[in-house]
Amino acid sequence: MTYFTYLFSPSGLNVVPSTGSLSNVVYSIDYRVAAVGEKHQAYARLTTVLPAPSPKKFVDYTQITEAQLIDWLESTEPSLQAVKADLAQKLQEMESTPETVKMPLPWEMAQEVVA
């Protein structure tokens, strides 16, 4: 069995300058999620649109942390479990593929010997 971990890497925030009484409201998050195994990594790039925040639970833009973004992603992205399952399958396939070595084409090797 292949053991791996998921890593999130936010790469950008798309912000609505103002809505109602709130300023700099995060509308969506661009990010990459990776399944990282012993030898390989499988990636997916995603954008998640967040629900409108309630004024009571609003987090000021300058106070947002990476941990908060990841929590928002895990709680709001409906396809995240499917993405994780797909990455796990890809990683499992990569981890079970035998190691390979790149070789020149046989006819190219013959030309090198003649030269």
Cβ–Cβ under 8 Å, residues 88 and 35? yes
| Dist. CA 46–CA 12, nearest whole Å | 11
Contact present, 79 and 69 (Cβ < 8 Å):
no
Is 0.75 topped by the overall pTM? Answer: no
Mean pLDDT of the chain: 87
Confidence of residue 95 (pLDDT cuts 50, 70, 90): confident
Give the residue-averaged pLDDT of 76-80. Answer: 88
